[in-house]
Amino acid sequence: MTIDSVVRELRGALHASRVRDGALELSLYARDASVIEGKAAAVCFPVSTEEVQAAVRIAVAHGRAVVPRGSGTGLSGGAVPRGSDGLDPVVIVTTKMDRILEVNAEERVAWVEPGVLNLDLTNAISHLGLHFAPDPSSQSACTVGGNVANNAGGPHCLAYGVTSAHVLAVEVVLPNGETALLGGLDPEPPGYDLRGLFVGSEGCMGIATRIAVRLTPSAPAIKTLLADFTSLDDAARTVGDVIAAGVIPAAMEMMDARFVEVIERSLHVGFPPDAAAMLLVETDGLAAGTEAAASAIRSIAEANGARSVRVAADAEERALLWKGRKSAFGAIALIAPNYYLHDTVVPRTRLAEVLRRINDIADAHQLALLNVFHAGDGNLHPLLLFDKRVAGTMERVLDAGKQIIRVCVDAGGVLSGEHGIGLEKTEFMPWIFSGSDLDAQARARCAFDPEHRFNPHKVLPAGSQCGDLRSIPRGAWT
Ligand SMILES: Cc1cc2nc3c(=O)[nH]c(=O)nc-3n(C[C@H](O)[C@H](O)[C@H](O)COP(=O)(O)OP(=O)(O)OC[C@H]3O[C@@H](n4cnc5c(N)ncnc54)[C@H](O)[C@@H]3O)c2cc1C
């Protein structure tokens, strides 16, 4: 069946203006924030659960795959459209489902639609002394639905936990167009924890259409410290020593020399431009506790050779320091037109050694590299800079990326801390999972999506998809 009849039916079920199949729209929705591209047959923008159900039923009835999408800020190709059976997929974008449906300040719960932007949610409830704790650096642009699907993290997830710790229940549209409510508001909902399975499922098990999120009380006192080092090793050692001392800061971010220099040059936030490495550390809670934690962090940083440790004097200075940390990606345009942001995790004790090896890999591939990352939980974000118009560059970037991931895995790390597997890392999954591990994951996916209609080719490596499972013996990948 041609795509014309799919588009006609979608326009009948949604509104004509909310179903797009023009060349410009298709090319815009062929990508997310990664370097990967795909191809969509049509893009639609439902405004209700019923419209999502209708769009899913139509796509599936026409043999098309469905790709859920929020704001498209994902960095692993999760929302990049890849179809199946030679047919391009229908992309279902949730950004018009952006209502905060209910806020219960007493119970600290809000029901939201999936297209609500992360920062909009926090801004809408801050007058109640509450916030939504997961705070990805992209929080002004990414959706809560995308956060749920990728189990997003952020600087303050060191103390507060990643998205999965803040989602109580999810209403999901399944591949047959029916809805199911996963989880619940009770502290211990009975039955299997399908909410836990769905969070982080990267759009492969259905589309979240309503989400109950936990709201976190905003801390009465916050101390933000900026420690500046003349060596990367000293900064890395400080990270391990702070945690070993039993102090868990709300956030502990590390920035390397090149990053600091670029940010200071473009944003003038007050970073010492000649620092070899810097730590941005935040403690929050009751005033006396934050004071004690800040003083312990200062002593540990100084014992490790910090050249200076500055405490933000007021909310304005704190906001400026965080602006420096979170505006990294815009500032990078000053030095290169393209970047590839990686996401891996290593044990904190191996931070310094792994960073050295990553820098060597970038040098060997003649690529500039910046490091800015959630150091407290060992979540590295090596950022390769390049100009993709230069012939042969992309091959070097991809090879360097693969080597970086390998080094992190060999150091006892994992493939992703927060950006997900998407299309980017499917081939590396056997590096950390056995055949039977992958088999269990594929069977769980199959239970939600037996025909493999939702976001095909994502997360699991080729050969472990639902349809193939029937013929592949258990343990075939081992
Ligand atoms: C500058 C920058 C900084 C970033 N910093 C961070 C960071 O600090 N921490 C972090 O974790 N990530 C970060 N990211 C990555 C990204 O912002 C997050 O993964 C975010 O959660 C994606 O949300 P989105 O709305 O853009 O989702 P998309 O990119 O649109 O989609 C991401 C995945 O979710 C699926 N999906 C989207 N909506 C739904 C839904 N309603 N139901 C089911 N599946 C759905 C898609 O199919 C896809 O697999 C950053 C990205 C950028 C560009």
Residue 296, domain CATH = 3.30.70.2190
Decide if 471 is inside a domain.
no
138: Cβ below 6 Å to ligand 1? Answer: yes
Nearest CA to ligand 1 atom 35: 203
Q: What pLDDT shows up at residue 329? A: 74
Show which of 217, 233, 256 is a domain's final residue.
217
Q: What pLDDT shows up at residue 472? A: 58
Nearest CA to ligand 1 atom 27: 146
Per-residue pLDDT reduced to its tens digit, 96-109: 999 999 999 999 99
What distance lies between CA 40 and its chain's CA centroid?
22
Name the least confident of 219-223, 418-422, 449-453, 465-469: 465-469
What is the CA(242)–ligand 1 centre distance, in A? Answer: 30
Q: Residues 198, 244: one domain? A: no
Q: Residues 237, 225: one domain? A: yes
From 36, 135, 142, 374, give the residue whose CB has the most ligand 1 atoms within 8 Å, as the site to mutate. 142
Decide if 45 is inside a domain.
yes
What is the CA(420)–ligand 1 centre distance, in A? Answer: 9
The domain of 31 spans: 3-93
Decide if 464 is inside a domain.
no
Judged against a pLDDT cut of 60, whether residue 288 lies above it is answered with: yes
74: Cβ below 6 Å to ligand 1? Answer: yes
Decide if 307 is inside a domain.
yes
From 67, 138, 160, give the residue whose CB has the most ligand 1 atoms within 8 Å, as the site to mutate. 138
Per-residue pLDDT reduced to its tens digit, 415-437: 999 999 999 999 999 999 988 88
Q: What pLDDT shows up at residue 478? A: 45
Per-residue pLDDT reduced to its tens digit, 114-137: 999 999 999 999 999 999 999 999
Q: What pLDDT shows up at residue 448? A: 94
Decide if 477 is inside a domain.
no
Please name which of 84, 47, 52 lies closest in space to residue 180, comparing C-alpha atoms: 52
Show which of 377, 410, 443 is a domain's final residue.
410
34: Cβ below 6 Å to ligand 1? Answer: no
118: Cβ below 6 Å to ligand 1? Answer: no
202: Cβ below 6 Å to ligand 1? Answer: yes
What is the CA(423)–ligand 1 centre distance, in A? Answer: 13
Residue 192's Cβ-count burial label (10 Å; 0-12, 13-18, 19+) is exposed
422 secondary structure, DSSP code: T
Q: What pLDDT shows up at residue 326? A: 81
114: Cβ below 6 Å to ligand 1? Answer: yes
Per-residue pLDDT reduced to its tens digit, 312-362: 999 999 999 998 888 777 778 778 899 999 999 999 889 989 999 999 999
Decide if 467 is inside a domain.
no
Per-residue pLDDT reduced to its tens digit, 18-42: 999 999 999 999 999 999 999 999 9
CATH of the domain at 110: 3.30.465.10
Q: Residues 138, 180: one domain? A: yes
Averaged pLDDT of the chain: 93
Per-residue pLDDT reduced to its tens digit, 298-316: 999 999 999 999 999 999 9
419: Cβ below 6 Å to ligand 1? Answer: yes
Nearest CA to ligand 1 atom 7: 136
Please name which of 254, 251, 224 lies closest in space to residue 238, comparing C-alpha atoms: 254
What is the CA(432)–ligand 1 centre distance, in A? Answer: 23
Q: Residues 185, 207: one domain? A: yes
Judged against a pLDDT cut of 80, whether residue 77 lies above it is answered with: yes
Nearest CA to ligand 1 atom 23: 146
Show which of 59, 93, 127 is a domain's final residue.
93
What is the CA(138)–ligand 1 centre distance, in A? Answer: 8
From 44, 137, 280, give the residue whose CB has the most ligand 1 atoms within 8 Å, as the site to mutate. 137
Decide if 393 is inside a domain.
yes
How many CA atoms lie within 13 Å of 59's alpha carbon, on the beta-carbon side?
35
Q: Residues 207, 252: one domain? A: no
CATH of the domain at 352: 3.30.70.2740
Judged against a pLDDT cut of 50, whether residue 441 lies above it is answered with: yes
**CA 60/CA 89 separation, integer angstroms:** 10
Domain total in the chain: 4
53: Cβ below 6 Å to ligand 1? Answer: no
Looking from the CA of residue 417, the nearest atom of ligand 1 is 11
Q: What pLDDT shows up at residue 420? A: 95
Q: Residues 395, 374: one domain? A: yes
Buried b (16+ CB within 10 A) or exposed e, 289-327: ebeebbebbbebbeebebbebeebeeeebbebbbebbbe
Decide if 130 is inside a domain.
yes
What is the CA(79)–ligand 1 centre distance, in A? Answer: 8
Q: Is-contact 66 207, C-beta < 8 A? A: yes
Tokens of 407: 């080094």
Q: Residues 263, 357: one domain? A: no
Q: Residues 212, 225: one domain? A: no
Q: Residues 314, 379: one domain? A: no
145: Cβ below 6 Å to ligand 1? Answer: yes
Q: Residues 108, 208: one domain? A: yes
Judged against a pLDDT cut of 90, whether residue 469 lies above it is answered with: no
What is the share, in percent, of the chain residues with pLDDT greater than 90? 84
What distance lies between CA 212 and its chain's CA centroid?
19
Residue 329 makes CB contacts below 8 A (sequence gap 6+) with 137, 339, 341
Q: Residues 107, 205: one domain? A: yes
Judged against a pLDDT cut of 80, whether residue 477 lies above it is answered with: no
Mean pLDDT of 188-204: 95
Q: Residues 316, 242: one domain? A: yes
Please name which of 45, 43, 95 lies closest in space to residue 71, comparing C-alpha atoms: 95
**CA 149/CA 420 separation, integer angstroms:** 9
